[in-house]
Amino acid sequence: MYYFFTMANLRVPGPTPLLPKVLSSLSQQMISHRGKGYEKVHAEVVSGLQYFYQTKNPIYLLTASGTAGLETAVVNFFSPGDTVVFFTCGEFGNRWSEIARSFKLNVTQVKFDEGTRVRKEVVKKTLSGMKNVAGVFITHNETGTGVLNNIFEITPIVKAHPSKPLLLVDSVSALGGVNLPMDKLGVDVLVSASQKAWMASPGMAMVAVSPYAWEKHQKSTMPRYYFDLTKYEKFAQKNQTPATPAVSVLYSLQSALELMKKEGREKVFKRHIDLRDYFRGEVKKLGLKLVVDDKDASPTVTSIYPPQGVDEKVWRDLLKSKYNQILAGGMGGLKGKIVRVAHMGSAVKSDLEQVLVAFRKSLKEL
Amino acid sequence: MYYFFTMANLRVPGPTPLLPKVLSSLSQQMISHRGKGYEKVHAEVVSGLQYFYQTKNPIYLLTASGTAGLETAVVNFFSPGDTVVFFTCGEFGNRWSEIARSFKLNVTQVKFDEGTRVRKEVVKKTLSGMKNVAGVFITHNETGTGVLNNIFEITPIVKAHPSKPLLLVDSVSALGGVNLPMDKLGVDVLVSASQKAWMASPGMAMVAVSPYAWEKHQKSTMPRYYFDLTKYEKFAQKNQTPATPAVSVLYSLQSALELMKKEGREKVFKRHIDLRDYFRGEVKKLGLKLVVDDKDASPTVTSIYPPQGVDEKVWRDLLKSKYNQILAGGMGGLKGKIVRVAHMGSAVKSDLEQVLVAFRKSLKEL
């Protein structure tokens, strides 16, 4: 009898499950995106985001996926041929560097093994050997492996470089659930997306921009139109967007932010850390092997090797078909080798207990 | 007593009001965008769109606004320096040509007066004097004025040109409500967006691509990533998208398409024409002046001059504050000069009767 697995337990790293209040917010009727009603929603969303980004910088709302937020960061602050450095440790770092190459930036990519984090010593050494670095790009939370990079220790190294590079951070799958104080650290461009720790519907990328990055923006000659932040800034003055925004998605983000603010920033961050620690502890007890060391582990997603001798896909299919646990597989070099379990956004302990019960039962069956 | 104006009558040309069934479809829970459940939604949406596009071509679903659909058409089929021609008659034609200039296409723009349509004689004459035209761009329905261009008479002229240009059509604000048989005509790239005649939530651009355009795509050297259709085609094979799609928006489009298919293509098209003819007739009876001649008038949006001596904004504000009619103002050269009333998507006669009652009463008061 699988009496408490009647509803699918969606544990992929985005889209994450929506709480009932957020779900019902999506059914609000359309409004004009040029009217007061919309402007109120827009202003509330930006202000809620600023609280979690811990910033006074403007945050631009782009109707698009997280990947488009990463492209926005590439095309707004540089010109073709500019030298930029990517420190990567997985698929989403690779993707961001690929975007930069597509737009003819001069890319240096320093790769760390999948499952490990970017090491500050290497950042220091790499940058010390370079001149005229226009930008340093780093993934805060590598969704492909479940690694959290330490932006706190990397930022001062980047900021100390004589060529004064911009620091651009992809926190698509962590921000909202993990502490990353943009202003205190001095991050210049910070990208996130609605369907991850923000526990809202997918379709909105959010890009915060420092005054220093805005200076660079004004000199950038990169070809762009839909992602041109000059247009977003002009319309942001009236709490609007240049083109028609995904109004329903914004409703969901407004509703989710309200719940998150009620819980409180520090409590939300602590809940994510607690969930990570609880889940990793229990997974170890089951004798399963974790991909990432404790010190590098993400508070939002955990990667696990399948039981020895068992195919990842066979295990994941069983967990889905019999126990209704919807988990993700690996990406890039880890494709077919790992299972990923998300615990971000609306996640609570019982969501992970379900996964663990399913793990336990499936291990006996395999 | 304004007893039947208690709910706002949203008559801007997008977002358009959502029917109850479509609204409730938005509240469905999230699913993995890499699972069978999503693939079913995706496949149904594409098939429903193909029925209204009247095409067998692939239709790519981009999580983005209509403007991004226009950018997708610019960056996927050409290379910097290619010669392209825009025939424009308003703000959205201007916008599209601006996108092409941003990406370094060699743009010839032939402008027609706002409120008039593109004339085939001029298209013929312009093209006959040109060599190596890589693409011809035209707005099907100019939302800024309420003009419907005649793609039926323009297509053969474009197709007869010796340099075999691509024909790219923006039908963001008409397709779904107006007959434009893509395959029969031979349109190469056809762009639309979810929040207009499709009566769905905003956030999805839909781009259909002919085999001939796909040949050109493979030679295009334009910088792009998020809008790169090679990636969309690869994922479309499994009814997926390269990045996380706006799942809720797709739910709404799936639900709206189901209702539209039930009504039937021909009936939907006829309803839009009937609404236009009814509304224009009644507006004339009130002594108000229409911006566009009958023969050029759009089936989805109608532009009207304010009563003589009355400021457009004053009239529109009165219609809104006292009668709850949410109408749009003018754009570009017509900003502050006209009022626009949309009758697309879910619109029925009683929606326009409300507008007309408000017109009648406000005229007495002004």
pLDDT digits (tens, 9 = 90+) for A49-99: 999 999 999 999 999 999 999 999 999 999 999 999 999 999 999 999 999
Give residue-wise pLDDT tens across range A169-220.
999 999 999 999 999 999 999 999 999 999 999 999 999 999 999 999 999 9
What residues form DSSP beta bridges with B204? Answer: B63
Interface test with B, best of A71, A244, A251 (most B CBs within 10 A): A244
**pLDDT tens for residues B162-202?**
999 999 999 999 999 999 999 999 999 999 999 999 999 99
For B23, the closest of A29, A193, A328 (CB atoms) is: A29
- Chain pair A-B, CB pairs under 8 angstroms: 183
Mean pLDDT confidence for A137-143: 98
Question: Using a CB-CB distance cutoff of 8 angstroms, which residues of chain A are in contact with residue B16?
Answer: 30
> Chain B closest CA to A133's CA: distance in Å?
22
- CA dist A255 and B262 (Å) reads 34
| For range A320-346, the mean pLDDT | 96
B15, B98, B225 ranked by CB distance to A30: nearest? B15
Average pLDDT of chain A to the nearest whole number: 97
**Domain B9-17+265-365 shares a fold with domain B20-261:** no
Q: Do B244 and A102 touch (CB under 8 A)?
A: no
Distance CA B26, CA B24 (A): 5
Q: What is the pLDDT of residue B125?
A: 98
Radius of gyration of chain A (CA): 20
Q: Is the pLDDT of residue B2 over 90?
A: no
Examine the pLDDT at B312 and tell me if it is beyond 50.
yes
Which of A63, A67, A72, A351 to substitute to test the interface with B, most B CBs within 10 Å?
A: A63
Return the pLDDT at B87: 98
Q: How many residues does chain B have?
A: 366
Are B34 and A193 within 8 A, CB to CB? no
Alpha carbon A269 to its chain centroid, in Å, reads 14
Query: Mind telling me how many Å the CA of B103 is from chain A's nearest CA?
Result: 6
**Which stretches of chain A are assigned E, i.e. beta strand?**
9-10, 59-63, 83-88, 106-111, 135-139, 141-142, 147-148, 166-170, 189-193, 204-209, 301-304, 325-326, 328-329, 339-342
Quick count: other Cβ atoms within 10 Å of Cβ A184? 11
Tell me the pLDDT tens digit for each residue of B262-277. 999 999 999 999 999 9
**A248:B68 CB<8 A:** no
Helix axes A349-365, A265-285, angle to 10 degrees: 10
Under DSSP, is residue B270 helix (H, G, I), strand (E, B) or coil?
helix
Residues A240-261 as b/e (b if ≥16 CB within 10 A, e otherwise) read: bbbbbbbbbbbbbbbbbbbebe
Residue B238 Rama label (left phi>0; alpha psi -120 to 50; beta): alpha
B68 contacts: CB under 8 Å, gap ≥ 6: A63, A64, A226, A243, B62, B205, B227
Task: Evaluate whether the domain defined by A9-17+264-365 bears CATH number 1.10.10.10.
Answer: no
For the four alpha carbons of A193, A358, A6 and A315, in that order, the dihedral sign comes to positive
User: If you average pLDDT over every residue of chain B, what do you get?
Assistant: 97
Do A245 and B202 lie within an 8 Å CB cutoff? yes
Percentage of chain A modeled with pLDDT above 90: 98
Q: What is the 8-class DSSP label of residue A332?
A: G
Q: Please report the ipTM that was assigned to this predicted complex.
A: 0.97
Distance to chain B for A125, nearest Cα, Å: 31
What's residue B322's pLDDT?
93
CATH number among 3.40.50.970, 3.20.20.70, 2.40.40.20, 3.40.640.10, domain B20-261: 3.40.640.10
Residue labelled with tokens 């698009």: A64
Per-residue pLDDT of A17-43, as tens digits, reads 999 999 999 999 999 999 999 999 999
Across chain B, the runs of DSSP E, i.e. the strands, are 9-10, 59-63, 83-88, 106-111, 135-139, 141-142, 147-148, 166-170, 189-193, 204-209, 301-304, 325-326, 328-329, 339-342
Which residues in chain A are closer than 8 Å to B17, comparing Cβ atoms?
Answer: 29-30
Note whether B66 contacts A244, CB cutoff 8 Å.
Answer: yes
Task: Indicate yes or no: CB of A30 within 8 angstroms of CB of B18.
Answer: yes
Fill in the amino acid letter for A129. Answer: G
Contacts of residue B262, Cβ cutoff 8 Å, sequence gap at least 6: none
Q: How far is CA A6 from the centre of its chain?
A: 29
Residue A2 has pLDDT above 60, yes or no: no
Pick from A10, A35, A203: which is nearest to B326 by CB?
Answer: A35
pLDDT in the model for residue A3: 47
Cα–Cα distances (Å) from B344 to B48, B178, B248, in that order, read 18, 9, 21
Q: How far is A360 from chain B (nearest CA, A)?
A: 23
pLDDT digits (tens, 9 = 90+) for A288-315: 999 999 999 999 999 999 999 999 999 9
Residues of A in contact with B193 (CB under 8 A): 244
Q: Are B360 and B2 in contact (CB under 8 A)?
A: no
Tell me which residue has tokens 């009247």. Answer: B54
Instruction: Choose, out of A65, A192, A324, the residue to mutate when testing the contact with B (most B CBs < 10 Å).
Output: A65
Residue B7, pLDDT score: 83
Query: Which DSSP letter does residue B198 get?
Result: T
Closest CA to B210 of B189, B231, B236, B185: B189
Residues A94-135: tens digit of each pLDDT: 999 999 999 999 999 999 999 999 999 999 999 999 999 999
Closest approach of chain A CAs to the CA of B243, in angstroms? 6
Q: Which residue of B has its CA nearest to A203?
A: B246
Show me where the domains of chain A are located.
Answer: 9-17+264-365, 20-261
Q: Residue A12: list chain B partners with CB under 8 A.
A: 32, 34
Residue B339 φ then ψ, to 5°: -120, 135
Q: What is the percentage of chain B residues whose pLDDT exceeds 90? A: 98
Nearest to A71 among B29, B226, B248 (CB): B226
pLDDT (average), residues B218-243: 98
**Per the CB < 8 Å rule, is A102 touching B27?**
no
DSSP state of A103: T
pTM: 0.97
Q: Please report the sign of the dihedral spanned by the C-alpha atoms of residue A8, residue A14, residue A20, residue A26.
A: negative
Whether A30 and B195 lie within 8 Å, measured CB to CB: yes
Predicted confidence band of residue A366 (pLDDT cuts 50, 70, 90): confident
Chain B partners within 8 Å of A10 (Cβ):
29-32
Whether the pLDDT of residue A5 is over 90: the answer is: no
Look at B27 and A27 and tell me if their CB atoms are within 8 Å: yes
CATH fold of B9-17+265-365: Aspartate Aminotransferase, domain 1 (3.90.1150)
> Measured between CB atoms, which of B16, B245, B249 is closest to A248?
B249
A17: closest CA among A362, A357, A325? A325
Question: Chain B residue with minimal CA distance to A242?
Answer: B67
Per-residue confidence (pLDDT) for residue B366, from 0 to 100? 86
Nearest to B117 by CA among B158, B81, B137, B146: B146
Out of B23, B223, B246, name the one closest to residue A249 (CB): B246
**CB–CB contact B10 A30 (8 Å):** yes
Are the Cβ atoms of B15 and A31 closer than 8 angstroms?
Answer: yes
Cβ-defined contact of A245 to B203 (cutoff 8 Å): yes
To the nearest whole Å, the CA of A348 is away from the closest chain B CA by: 17
How many beta carbons lie within 10 A of that of residue A278, not counting itself? Answer: 15
- To the nearest whole Å, the CA of B162 is away from the closest chain A CA by 31
Determine the residue of chain A that is closest to B200 in CA distance.
A30
Residue B243: which of A17, A67, A252 has the nearest Cβ? A67
Asked if residue A1 has pLDDT above 50, the reply is no
Q: Does the structure show a pLDDT above 70 at B6?
A: no
Q: Answer whether residue B54 shows pLDDT above 50.
A: yes
Pairwise CB contact (< 8 Å): B63 & A202: yes
Q: How far is B160 from chain A (nearest CA, A)?
A: 32
User: What are all long-range contacts of B21-24, with beta carbons under 8 Å and residues at least 24 apart?
Assistant: B21/B255, B21/B259, B22/B199, B22/B200, B22/B201, B22/B252, B22/B255, B22/B256, B22/B259, B23/A27, B23/A28, B23/A29, B23/B252, B24/A27
CA-nearest residue to B65 within chain A is A244
8 Å CB contact of B66 and A193: no
